[in-house]
Amino acid sequence: MAEYIKVIRGFLKRLNQDHVGAFAAQAAYFILLSFVPFVILLITLVRHIPLVSESNVTRFFLQIVPDSSDLQVFVLQIIREIFGKSTAVVPVSAVFTLWSAGKGIQALTNGVNAIYHVKETRNYVMMRIRSAFYTLIFIAAVTGSLLLLVFGNSIQKLLEKYIPMIGRIAGYIIGMRTVISLAVLCVVFLLIYKVLPNRRASLKSQLPGAMISALAWSLFSLGFSVYLDVFHGLSSMYGSLTTTVLVMLWMYFCMYIVLIGAEINAYFEERFRRLQQIAGERIRQEYKEFVDGLRESREEDKEQDGEKRT
Protein backbone atom coordinates (compact mmCIF):
# COMPACT_ATOMS: atom_id res chain seq x y z
CA MET A 1 0.00 0.00 0.00
CA ALA A 2 2.82 2.38 0.88
CA GLU A 3 4.41 1.66 -2.51
CA TYR A 4 1.22 2.66 -4.34
CA ILE A 5 0.94 5.88 -2.33
CA LYS A 6 4.57 6.66 -3.16
CA VAL A 7 3.93 6.13 -6.89
CA ILE A 8 0.81 8.32 -6.84
CA ARG A 9 2.60 11.10 -4.96
CA GLY A 10 5.49 10.93 -7.43
CA PHE A 11 3.07 11.14 -10.35
CA LEU A 12 1.26 14.16 -8.86
CA LYS A 13 4.61 15.82 -8.17
CA ARG A 14 5.64 15.37 -11.80
CA LEU A 15 2.28 16.78 -12.95
CA ASN A 16 3.08 19.92 -10.96
CA GLN A 17 6.69 20.11 -12.15
CA ASP A 18 5.68 19.77 -15.80
CA HIS A 19 3.08 22.57 -15.43
CA VAL A 20 0.36 20.41 -16.94
CA GLY A 21 -2.38 22.78 -15.77
CA ALA A 22 -0.71 25.77 -17.45
CA PHE A 23 -0.22 23.93 -20.73
CA ALA A 24 -3.81 22.65 -20.59
CA ALA A 25 -5.02 26.24 -20.21
CA GLN A 26 -2.79 27.37 -23.09
CA ALA A 27 -3.99 24.58 -25.37
CA ALA A 28 -7.64 25.20 -24.44
CA TYR A 29 -7.25 28.93 -25.13
CA PHE A 30 -5.72 28.50 -28.58
CA ILE A 31 -8.11 25.69 -29.50
CA LEU A 32 -11.05 27.94 -28.64
CA LEU A 33 -9.51 30.70 -30.76
CA SER A 34 -9.12 28.15 -33.55
CA PHE A 35 -12.65 26.81 -33.15
CA VAL A 36 -14.44 29.33 -35.37
CA PRO A 37 -11.99 29.14 -38.31
CA PHE A 38 -11.96 25.36 -37.89
CA VAL A 39 -15.76 25.17 -38.05
CA ILE A 40 -15.82 27.54 -41.04
CA LEU A 41 -13.44 25.32 -42.99
CA LEU A 42 -15.12 22.10 -41.84
CA ILE A 43 -18.65 23.16 -42.76
CA THR A 44 -17.46 24.68 -46.04
CA LEU A 45 -16.03 21.29 -47.02
CA VAL A 46 -18.93 19.27 -45.60
CA ARG A 47 -21.53 21.30 -47.50
CA HIS A 48 -20.23 19.88 -50.76
CA ILE A 49 -21.19 16.36 -49.65
CA PRO A 50 -24.54 15.29 -51.15
CA LEU A 51 -27.55 15.15 -48.79
CA VAL A 52 -25.76 17.14 -46.05
CA SER A 53 -27.99 19.91 -44.69
CA GLU A 54 -27.80 22.44 -41.87
CA SER A 55 -29.93 20.19 -39.64
CA ASN A 56 -27.55 17.25 -40.21
CA VAL A 57 -24.50 19.31 -39.26
CA THR A 58 -26.34 20.72 -36.22
CA ARG A 59 -27.24 17.24 -34.99
CA PHE A 60 -23.64 16.11 -35.35
CA PHE A 61 -22.10 19.03 -33.44
CA LEU A 62 -24.66 18.71 -30.65
CA GLN A 63 -23.50 15.11 -30.19
CA ILE A 64 -19.85 16.01 -29.57
CA VAL A 65 -20.35 18.86 -27.07
CA PRO A 66 -21.92 18.62 -23.60
CA ASP A 67 -25.72 18.60 -23.58
CA SER A 68 -26.21 22.11 -22.22
CA SER A 69 -28.74 24.67 -23.45
CA ASP A 70 -26.11 27.44 -23.35
CA LEU A 71 -23.60 25.43 -25.34
CA GLN A 72 -26.27 24.37 -27.80
CA VAL A 73 -27.23 28.01 -28.44
CA PHE A 74 -23.56 28.88 -28.93
CA VAL A 75 -23.03 26.10 -31.49
CA LEU A 76 -26.32 26.78 -33.28
CA GLN A 77 -25.46 30.46 -33.72
CA ILE A 78 -22.12 29.64 -35.31
CA ILE A 79 -23.61 27.04 -37.68
CA ARG A 80 -26.52 29.32 -38.63
CA GLU A 81 -24.21 32.23 -39.45
CA ILE A 82 -21.91 30.05 -41.55
CA PHE A 83 -24.76 28.46 -43.50
CA GLY A 84 -26.23 31.90 -44.13
CA LYS A 85 -23.10 33.05 -45.95
CA SER A 86 -21.89 32.29 -49.43
CA THR A 87 -20.40 28.86 -50.06
CA ALA A 88 -17.63 30.27 -52.21
CA VAL A 89 -14.29 30.17 -50.42
CA VAL A 90 -11.24 31.12 -52.46
CA PRO A 91 -8.14 28.95 -51.99
CA VAL A 92 -6.20 31.75 -50.29
CA SER A 93 -8.93 32.18 -47.66
CA ALA A 94 -9.00 28.41 -47.08
CA VAL A 95 -5.22 28.36 -46.55
CA PHE A 96 -5.34 31.21 -44.02
CA THR A 97 -8.26 29.57 -42.23
CA LEU A 98 -6.37 26.29 -42.01
CA TRP A 99 -3.26 28.11 -40.79
CA SER A 100 -5.25 29.80 -38.01
CA ALA A 101 -6.94 26.56 -36.98
CA GLY A 102 -3.51 24.93 -36.66
CA LYS A 103 -2.67 27.11 -33.65
CA GLY A 104 -4.59 24.74 -31.41
CA ILE A 105 -2.49 21.76 -32.52
CA GLN A 106 0.67 23.83 -32.09
CA ALA A 107 -0.27 24.67 -28.49
CA LEU A 108 -0.95 21.00 -27.77
CA THR A 109 2.46 20.15 -29.25
CA ASN A 110 4.14 22.51 -26.78
CA GLY A 111 2.36 20.75 -23.93
CA VAL A 112 3.34 17.20 -24.87
CA ASN A 113 6.94 18.29 -25.54
CA ALA A 114 7.14 19.66 -22.00
CA ILE A 115 5.64 16.48 -20.54
CA TYR A 116 8.07 14.20 -22.40
CA HIS A 117 10.96 16.55 -21.46
CA VAL A 118 12.06 17.16 -25.04
CA LYS A 119 13.02 20.45 -26.69
CA GLU A 120 11.44 21.60 -29.92
CA THR A 121 14.19 21.62 -32.56
CA ARG A 122 12.01 21.35 -35.65
CA ASN A 123 11.62 24.27 -38.05
CA TYR A 124 8.84 26.67 -36.97
CA VAL A 125 7.36 27.10 -40.44
CA MET A 126 7.38 23.35 -41.01
CA MET A 127 5.76 22.85 -37.61
CA ARG A 128 2.95 25.24 -38.51
CA ILE A 129 2.48 23.44 -41.82
CA ARG A 130 2.40 20.11 -39.98
CA SER A 131 -0.15 21.52 -37.53
CA ALA A 132 -2.33 22.68 -40.41
CA PHE A 133 -1.97 19.25 -42.03
CA TYR A 134 -2.98 17.47 -38.82
CA THR A 135 -5.94 19.82 -38.54
CA LEU A 136 -6.97 18.83 -42.07
CA ILE A 137 -6.72 15.15 -41.12
CA PHE A 138 -8.86 15.86 -38.07
CA ILE A 139 -11.43 17.54 -40.32
CA ALA A 140 -11.50 14.42 -42.50
CA ALA A 141 -12.03 12.26 -39.40
CA VAL A 142 -14.85 14.51 -38.20
CA THR A 143 -16.45 14.37 -41.65
CA GLY A 144 -16.28 10.58 -41.60
CA SER A 145 -17.87 10.55 -38.16
CA LEU A 146 -20.59 12.86 -39.48
CA LEU A 147 -21.39 10.41 -42.27
CA LEU A 148 -21.44 7.48 -39.83
CA LEU A 149 -23.55 9.12 -37.12
CA VAL A 150 -26.02 11.07 -39.26
CA PHE A 151 -26.31 8.89 -42.35
CA GLY A 152 -25.45 5.56 -40.75
CA ASN A 153 -28.93 4.09 -41.15
CA SER A 154 -29.23 5.26 -44.77
CA ILE A 155 -25.83 3.80 -45.61
CA GLN A 156 -26.82 0.53 -43.96
CA LYS A 157 -30.04 0.29 -46.00
CA LEU A 158 -28.16 0.92 -49.25
CA LEU A 159 -25.58 -1.73 -48.37
CA GLU A 160 -28.29 -4.24 -47.43
CA LYS A 161 -29.99 -3.58 -50.75
CA TYR A 162 -26.94 -4.03 -52.97
CA ILE A 163 -24.44 -5.93 -50.75
CA PRO A 164 -26.47 -7.80 -48.06
CA MET A 165 -23.47 -9.37 -46.29
CA ILE A 166 -21.66 -6.04 -45.80
CA GLY A 167 -24.97 -4.42 -44.88
CA ARG A 168 -25.43 -6.76 -41.92
CA ILE A 169 -21.87 -6.08 -40.75
CA ALA A 170 -22.48 -2.33 -41.08
CA GLY A 171 -25.62 -2.72 -38.97
CA TYR A 172 -23.61 -4.22 -36.11
CA ILE A 173 -21.02 -1.45 -36.41
CA ILE A 174 -23.60 1.35 -36.42
CA GLY A 175 -25.34 -0.22 -33.43
CA MET A 176 -22.09 0.05 -31.44
CA ARG A 177 -21.66 3.81 -31.81
CA THR A 178 -20.64 4.35 -28.20
CA VAL A 179 -17.87 1.77 -28.45
CA ILE A 180 -16.82 3.20 -31.80
CA SER A 181 -16.65 6.74 -30.39
CA LEU A 182 -14.39 5.47 -27.59
CA ALA A 183 -12.21 3.67 -30.13
CA VAL A 184 -11.97 6.79 -32.30
CA LEU A 185 -10.99 8.91 -29.29
CA CYS A 186 -8.37 6.33 -28.35
CA VAL A 187 -6.90 6.39 -31.86
CA VAL A 188 -6.86 10.21 -31.92
CA PHE A 189 -5.05 10.40 -28.57
CA LEU A 190 -2.68 7.63 -29.62
CA LEU A 191 -1.68 9.64 -32.69
CA ILE A 192 -1.33 12.81 -30.59
CA TYR A 193 1.12 11.09 -28.23
CA LYS A 194 2.96 9.43 -31.11
CA VAL A 195 3.21 12.22 -33.67
CA LEU A 196 3.15 15.59 -31.90
CA PRO A 197 6.14 15.41 -29.51
CA ASN A 198 9.67 15.84 -30.87
CA ARG A 199 10.72 12.27 -30.12
CA ARG A 200 10.33 8.74 -31.41
CA ALA A 201 8.06 6.29 -29.63
CA SER A 202 6.17 3.15 -30.57
CA LEU A 203 2.40 3.14 -30.76
CA LYS A 204 2.28 0.28 -28.27
CA SER A 205 4.09 2.33 -25.63
CA GLN A 206 1.54 5.16 -25.93
CA LEU A 207 -1.53 2.93 -25.76
CA PRO A 208 -2.12 2.98 -21.94
CA GLY A 209 -2.41 6.77 -21.74
CA ALA A 210 -4.57 6.91 -24.88
CA MET A 211 -7.03 4.35 -23.51
CA ILE A 212 -7.27 6.04 -20.11
CA SER A 213 -7.72 9.49 -21.69
CA ALA A 214 -10.43 8.28 -24.07
CA LEU A 215 -12.43 6.74 -21.22
CA ALA A 216 -11.87 9.76 -18.95
CA TRP A 217 -12.89 12.21 -21.72
CA SER A 218 -16.17 10.35 -22.32
CA LEU A 219 -16.99 10.05 -18.62
CA PHE A 220 -16.12 13.69 -17.96
CA SER A 221 -18.28 14.96 -20.84
CA LEU A 222 -21.17 12.85 -19.55
CA GLY A 223 -20.68 14.05 -15.97
CA PHE A 224 -20.31 17.66 -17.11
CA SER A 225 -23.61 17.44 -18.99
CA VAL A 226 -25.38 16.01 -15.92
CA TYR A 227 -23.89 18.74 -13.73
CA LEU A 228 -25.10 21.50 -16.05
CA ASP A 229 -28.59 20.00 -16.13
CA VAL A 230 -28.83 19.81 -12.33
CA PHE A 231 -26.92 22.89 -11.13
CA HIS A 232 -27.39 26.39 -12.54
CA GLY A 233 -25.14 28.42 -10.27
CA LEU A 234 -22.89 29.59 -13.10
CA SER A 235 -25.77 31.36 -14.85
CA SER A 236 -26.45 33.60 -11.87
CA MET A 237 -22.73 34.24 -11.36
CA TYR A 238 -21.55 35.02 -14.91
CA GLY A 239 -24.78 36.17 -16.56
CA SER A 240 -24.38 36.68 -20.32
CA LEU A 241 -20.82 35.28 -20.17
CA THR A 242 -22.04 31.88 -18.95
CA THR A 243 -21.76 30.22 -22.38
CA THR A 244 -18.18 31.38 -22.87
CA VAL A 245 -17.18 30.29 -19.36
CA LEU A 246 -18.80 26.87 -19.81
CA VAL A 247 -17.02 26.26 -23.09
CA MET A 248 -13.69 27.34 -21.59
CA LEU A 249 -14.14 25.09 -18.55
CA TRP A 250 -15.12 22.10 -20.66
CA MET A 251 -12.21 22.57 -23.07
CA TYR A 252 -9.72 23.19 -20.25
CA PHE A 253 -10.57 19.96 -18.43
CA CYS A 254 -10.61 18.02 -21.71
CA MET A 255 -7.12 19.28 -22.54
CA TYR A 256 -6.07 18.46 -18.98
CA ILE A 257 -7.26 14.90 -19.54
CA VAL A 258 -5.31 14.65 -22.81
CA LEU A 259 -2.11 15.90 -21.17
CA ILE A 260 -2.60 13.62 -18.15
CA GLY A 261 -2.69 10.71 -20.60
CA ALA A 262 0.66 11.87 -21.99
CA GLU A 263 1.99 12.22 -18.44
CA ILE A 264 0.89 8.66 -17.65
CA ASN A 265 2.84 7.39 -20.64
CA ALA A 266 5.91 9.45 -19.72
CA TYR A 267 5.92 8.64 -15.99
CA PHE A 268 5.09 4.95 -16.23
CA GLU A 269 6.91 4.29 -19.53
CA GLU A 270 9.74 2.33 -17.93
CA ARG A 271 7.30 0.40 -15.73
CA PHE A 272 5.13 -0.45 -18.73
CA ARG A 273 8.21 -1.60 -20.62
CA ARG A 274 9.23 -3.89 -17.76
CA LEU A 275 5.70 -5.30 -17.53
CA GLN A 276 5.74 -5.99 -21.26
CA GLN A 277 9.10 -7.75 -20.95
CA ILE A 278 7.89 -9.83 -18.00
CA ALA A 279 4.67 -10.70 -19.81
CA GLY A 280 6.61 -11.59 -22.97
CA GLU A 281 9.03 -13.80 -21.05
CA ARG A 282 6.14 -15.47 -19.25
CA ILE A 283 4.32 -16.15 -22.52
CA ARG A 284 7.49 -17.55 -24.10
CA GLN A 285 8.08 -19.75 -21.06
CA GLU A 286 4.50 -21.04 -21.09
CA TYR A 287 4.75 -21.70 -24.84
CA LYS A 288 8.06 -23.54 -24.41
CA GLU A 289 6.61 -25.69 -21.62
CA PHE A 290 3.57 -26.40 -23.78
CA VAL A 291 5.72 -27.45 -26.76
CA ASP A 292 7.98 -29.57 -24.53
CA GLY A 293 4.91 -31.23 -23.05
CA LEU A 294 3.59 -32.06 -26.52
CA ARG A 295 6.98 -33.44 -27.55
CA GLU A 296 7.21 -35.64 -24.45
CA SER A 297 3.64 -36.82 -24.96
CA ARG A 298 4.41 -37.82 -28.56
CA GLU A 299 7.58 -39.65 -27.50
CA GLU A 300 5.63 -41.56 -24.84
CA ASP A 301 2.99 -42.48 -27.42
CA LYS A 302 5.70 -43.76 -29.77
CA GLU A 303 7.28 -45.83 -27.00
CA GLN A 304 3.90 -47.34 -26.11
CA ASP A 305 3.23 -48.15 -29.78
CA GLY A 306 6.64 -49.81 -30.02
CA GLU A 307 6.00 -51.93 -26.92
CA LYS A 308 2.62 -53.06 -28.29
CA ARG A 309 4.19 -54.15 -31.58
CA THR A 310 6.90 -56.15 -29.82
181/174 Cα distance (integer angstroms): 11
CB 141 within 8 A of CB 184: yes
pTM above 0.95, yes or no: no
Query: Does an H or E element contain 15, and which?
Result: helix 2-17
- The predicted structure's pLDDT at residue 15: 83
- The predicted structure's pLDDT at residue 91: 55
- The predicted structure's pLDDT at residue 64: 59
- The predicted structure's pLDDT at residue 260: 92
Average pLDDT per 10 consecutive residues for the chain, totaling 310 residues: 78 85 85 70 67 69 60 71 60 63 80 88 82 72 57 62 66 65 83 87 85 87 73 62 74 89 84 67 76 72 63
**Cα-Cα-Cα-Cα dihedral sign, residues 122, 207, 35, 79:** positive
Provide the 3-class DSSP secondary structure of residue 71: helix
- The predicted structure's pLDDT at residue 188: 84
- The predicted structure's pLDDT at residue 90: 47
CB 42 within 8 A of CB 145: no
Within its chain, how far is the Cα of 152 from the centroid?
21
- The predicted structure's pLDDT at residue 130: 81
Domain limits, the chain:
2-263, 268-310
- The predicted structure's pLDDT at residue 236: 64
- The predicted structure's pLDDT at residue 5: 82
